[in-house]
Amino acid sequence: MTTLQEKLNETTTYMKKAGVKEVEFGLILGSGLGELADEIEDAVVLQYHEIPHFPISTVVGHAGKLVYGTLSGKKVLAMQGRFHYYEGHSMQTVTYPVRVMAALQAHSVIVTNACGGVNHDFTPGDLMLITDQINYMGANPLIGTNEDELGPRFPDMSQAYDASYQAVAHKVAQEKGLHLQEGVYMAFSGPTYETPAEIRFARTIGADAVGMSTVPEVIVAVHSGLRVLGVSCITNLAAGMQKELNHEEVVETTQRVKQEFKSLIKETLAAL
Ligand code: HPA
């Protein structure tokens, strides 16, 4: 049987031959933020389908490519388009790109997403620094045999999101005059949006925002020893807090705030 480590070796060997060198930061660009990859200098662009063992994305609006190069003076490997559990991928597949980032010696990952606001103080268009997460997806990417060379059997999730990175992001936001919310991100499997009852439950147990991604990737990042910064775009109020939910509104809001979102990420990256 091929181990995960063996698959990773094949993937990274291919990527290195294609021109990918040392990586400092992995970037996972969620809905609306993919454009950031177009700003990467001296870019090496790899289509997902050409990379051995790499999954292929099926969601409209999520291009499928990895872009390596320099952004804000840092060596980055950016995913333009991520993999979701609701697409039918296994949790291991969803998180494979994070394994690849770690295998290429990245020390940190920046994760972004679009999500619904649960906290009554949030407004669509707000950006939220993720301080912690709740895994309500009903699955965990680390279930199964643990490959000890990749990380520990029982990872500590006490500080999944790096506190000093959060402080840097807050400082950058303050300097920009940008109001940066913060809160706990709770992941549901999707693809249905939540029900109003589920949102009341989410709020009761401590969630500030809900979405369908990020949590698996952050679990694997922690398992791999990566430092994590997470930023969400609140694209809508969660179910029961506004009349109805639809994907068009999510896309519209990400388009509306993308300049602000991109500049927050770039300036924070420069300061990390
Ligand atoms: N729920 C789940 N995922 C989402 C939402 C939401 O309200 N908005 C954007 N992604």
State the pLDDT at residue 31. 80
State the pLDDT at residue 64. 87
Query: For residue 253, is pLDDT > 90?
Result: yes
Query: For residue 61, is pLDDT > 70?
Result: no
CA dist 167 and 165 (Å) reads 5
CA dist 185 and 243 (Å) reads 22
DSSP 105: T
Report whether 113 contacts 216 (CB < 8 A).
no
CATH number at residue 251: 3.40.50.1580
Centroid of chain to Cα 98: 10
Nearest atom in ligand 1 to the alpha carbon of residue 194 is: 1
Mean pLDDT calculated for residue range 65-69:
96
Find residue 164's DSSP bridge partners: none
- Backbone phi and psi for residue 256, each to the nearest 5 degrees, phi listed first: -65, -40
More confident call, 199 vs 251: 199
Residue 191: partners with Cβ closer than 8 Å, 6 or more residues away? 84, 86, 212
pLDDT tens-place string over residues 103-123: 999 999 999 999 999 999 999
State the pLDDT at residue 8. 96
Ligand 1 and 115: CB distance under 6 A:
yes
Give the CB-side neighbour count of residue 174, counting CA atoms within 13 A: 6
DSSP 37: G
Q: Is 118 helix (H, G, I), strand (E, B) or coil?
A: coil
For the ranges 54-58, 86-90, 184-188, the lowest mean pLDDT is seen at 54-58
CA dist 104 and 77 (Å) reads 9
Mean pLDDT calculated for residue range 227-250:
94
72 is catalytic: no
Q: In angstroms, what is the span from residue 107 Cα to ligand 1's centroid?
A: 29
Query: For residue 161, is pLDDT > 90?
Result: yes
Determine the structural domain holding residue 34 and report its residue range.
4-271
Ligand 1 and 235: CB distance under 6 A:
yes
Mean pLDDT calculated for residue range 31-38:
88
Give me the chain's average pLDDT, please.
95
- Catalytic residue (one of 35, 170, 247, 263): 247
Among candidates 268, 229, 248, which has minimal Cα distance to 26?
229
pLDDT > 90: percent of the chain: 90
For the ranges 27-36, 44-53, 204-213, the lowest mean pLDDT is seen at 27-36
Domain count, the chain: 1
Ligand 1 and 28: CB distance under 6 A:
no
